[in-house]
Amino acid sequence: MIKSVIDLIRKLLSIQLVRFFIVGGINAVFGYCTFAMFLWAGMDYKLAVACGTILGIFFNFGTFGKMVFNKLKPILLFRFIGVYIFLYFVNIALLKGFLMIGVNSYIGGAILVVPMGIFAFILHRTFVFGRNSSAVDAPQAGSLAKTADDKN
């Protein structure tokens, strides 16, 4: 029984999307907590997002790069930062939209955690780490072939 549970967990963790949701959850908690902490300290929501994003960039680069994409190369940090700059402006625009309809920054930020996380994953997978960057990804039906990245 325990062995089958462990095998199931290993199988699930071999799927990049499952790892994304787990690591994304960790990153989202970290990001929202830093954002809320800066709001609580009296910062304007724009500055709170900026400070949280700066801290989140380094934290998330390590977690996404290693745990999701298995491609943690320092040179990729520059593209990663570029994606986060773009995400910052998208986040600010969406938060401003929430404020305009009467939703406060805390609630607006909480609502945006999941969609911004999914959007960030798509951008990182496409523009930073590459589509086939996972060390172990779900194999295609009937195929156990590894990608070129798996051989490194």
pLDDT tens across 43-81, in order? 999 999 999 988 988 898 999 899 988 888 889 999 999
Q: Tell me what percent of the residues of the chain surpass a pLDDT of 70.
A: 86
Q: Using an 8 Å Cβ cutoff, are 25 and 146 in contact?
A: no
SS3 content of the chain, % helix, strand, coil (to 5): 75, 0, 25
Q: How many CB atoms are located within 10 Å of the residue 100 CB?
A: 8
**What number of helices (H) and strands (E) belong to the chain?**
5, 0
Beta-carbon contacts of 88 under 8 Å, excluding residues fewer than 6 positions away, are 49, 50, 53
- Where do the domains of the chain lie? 16-134
pTM passes above 0.85: no
